[in-house]
Each structure stands twice: as C-alpha cells, then as structure tokens.
Amino acid sequence: MDFRLKQGLVFGLVVGVALAAFFYATGWGPISFILVPIGAVMGLAPQFLKQKEED
C-alpha cells in the first residue's frame, strides 16, 4: 500500500475515532461508533479520486 493511502487511512481513522467519542459522550450511544470506518474511508477516498499525473 502506498504511503499516501496509509496516511489518508490513518488520518481518517483518527478523525472517525474523535467524532465517535464526541457523539458517544453527548448521548448518541454505541451507534456513534459507525463513524470510525466511515471516517477512515473518507480519509482514503481522495487518494483514489486523483488522476495519476497529479502525483
């Protein structure tokens, strides 16, 4: 896996965990942990949408 893909995945994962922790603390309950994989995929997605010559 390319370094940029890993970096986007980790950044998205961190943001997803932060959002899930925030919403869990505000009373949404365990359903808020669905934001973790959603954040990871959103952090990873821009790397797949770029054209190859933009590297």
From first to last of the 55 residues of the chain, give the pLDDT tens digit: 788 889 999 999 999 999 999 999 999 898 999 999 999 999 988 888 876 666 5
Tokens of 23: 């919403």
50: left (phi over 0), alpha (psi -120 to 50) or beta: beta
Residue 33's pLDDT is 92
Question: Which 3 state secondary structure label does DSSP give 11?
Answer: helix
**35 membership: H or E segment, kind and range:** helix 35-49
55: which DSSP letter?
-
Name the pTM for this structure: 0.81
Residue 46's pLDDT is 87
